Structure 1
Amino acid sequence: MPHGSPASRRALLAAFAAMGLTRSARAQAWPSRPIRMIVAFGAGSGSDIRARVIGDRLAVDLGQPVVIDNRGGANGFLAAEAVARARPDGYTLLFTSNSTHAANPALFRRLPYDPIADFEPVAMVGETPLIIVVNNDLPVHDLAGLVAYAKRQPGGLNYASGNTSSRVGAEMFKIATGIDMTYVSYRSNAQGITDVIAGNPQVMFSDASVGIPQVREGRVRAIGITGKQPVRALPGVPTVEAALGLPDFAIHSWSAVFAPAGTPAEIVAKLNAGIRDILNQPEIRTRMEEEGTEVPPLDPAGVGRFVVAEIAKWRRVVAQAGIEVAP
């Protein structure tokens, strides 16, 4: 059969069509085995808590187990790189935050993964303000008291941070108020707040899902919120903007699910619909509203556009916070 002849072209088109049908059949058969959801933070972190809630319900909807695989530390590099290099077949997902997909591009000149090119955006899980908590023995009961204490004892306060949102929020606060606190790094905010309870570090800008339970149990004291609105679960705790008169002071963390680049669109769409349905369940919605979490109703393309905008925003935020970019 001569190369380029009508017959050869028909054969080539038939081959491509067969490949498309094969991919479609694979997507339709998905899932036929357990799905692994790699979480970019340690057990007990805000991301871990939400990943497990979504994973449990997603497993029921899909009829296959969703196995949570915590890979905390290294600024989320380990988890993000593992998913970026995974087979794009819908059986490996990344549950992560703005740390890996917005802050890291601003904090590091080189990354072992590309937050845009290496992933298929799947679904947003929510945007949440940080809760500013202090050790119960610290003689500080509000944000003005924290600022005054820090100014009386320059360098006398340490703050815990288990992710980039926590760190950047604290650094922005330092610059806005003119105080000094020393950064102490942790693999997750859950580990960090354990040490805040013990007394050193004394301060933390915590994920709401990690901080609120500790506040309710009386283990730490909440003195502020980094969002634009108060949080229903913490009545009487003011925003930084309202308490200190700092206009436009706001920083939120967000969570989202991603798949490796090249994952079939049918699978991504099915996951997006499933996760959005879970987030609309009354029990889940109520819990997230209490934490001040907003869930943008985005399709996968909308999540992709959101991430692009967030990378640009976090580059501005990191510059404003005066954090040195790592090589």
Structure 2
Amino acid sequence: MGHLLGQLGATLASLLLLLSAPTALGQRQKKPPPPSPIDNIQAVGNFDPNRVLGKWYGIGLASNSNWFQGKKNHMKMCTTIITPTADGNMEVTATFPKMDRCEKKTMTYIKTEQPGRFRAKSPRYGSEHDMRVVETNYDEFILMYTLKTKGPETNQIVSLFARDKDVRPELLDKFQSFAKAQGLTDENILILPHTECAVAPTCGPPVTPLMGEWVGVAVASDCPMFSAMKAEMKTEPVVKFWKDGANLICGTGFRTSKGCQKREITLKENGNGHFTYSVPQMGDSVMTILSITPTLCLAHTLTNAPDGKVYIELQFFKRGAEPPEGAKKQFSDYAIKLGLKEDNIVFFEKGEKCHFK
């Protein structure tokens, strides 16, 4: 990772011991380690992590690893969901076809002091990943370079992701040219075939902590529909989760000038606190439970709208007692940290509620 931290640390330790001991006549000093391939890779200087959240498709993959060479003839396009973690890092969940099923892998990328640079460790294989965002326009594509290190072995990975399954030929050329500039060959480069595998089977923790009725404390969103309805959203809404057969239903009841309004959506659980759903004319959404206790819940939703834009929604629920002092300010601070503005935030007032049976 980066300058091959593990290997470099061992080298430095040996060098310090050598310098502190008497030097034997004719003894050679150890040569410094060779430069890392990632040293010449520049990350996007003004990178905005909030704008890469949401759904992406894996378009191209290039690597000099033996594992990649052995698997590439069987690899297909994956769906990748990027969501924020409560501490400001990025959780990346990739869903890909494997034999007769869809499989899911999740890694958390830790931000560094350098914009556009993240570090991660594979929970399964223990490999270290030093990833840099090389180029992106956020709405169409993202080009990444990763140096993967495990023990003495170091491999390069170049990835191209896009918001749509089909991309302009110019982007494929950009991906391939960049990969070759890093010393990768045509044999190391793969344009991933299309697949219908979109989300993984249900796994991870049960939805039990969500079940039952909650009361909305606050909501923040940059969705145009939210802005249009904001004036009507004054009193505390009721949010209820329940099972209908194999389906998980989320119902929201809120009072407007026209009376009690209710809506229901069917959620598909994808494990680790992630749920997906679709609403006509609004697009496909991924809801992530960032934090939950018996009395408080913080949820984050990303919606890929039909116009290609990605909208953020942050929801704060309570059950029973009032939130602790300072919780509302923390909610506002976190919403603004995600790129939302003060005008996007609504704190609900107490009033008559619309309950579900």
Higher RCO, 1 vs 2 (CA within 8 Å, ≥6 residues apart)? 1
Work out whether the TM-score is over 0.5: no
Higher strand share: 2
Bucket of the pairwise TM-score, normalised by the shorter protein: under 0.3
TM-score under structure 1 length normalisation: 0.26
In the superposition, the TM-score normalised over structure 2's length comes to 0.25
Q: Highest CA radius of gyration, 1 or 2?
A: 2
Higher helix share: 1
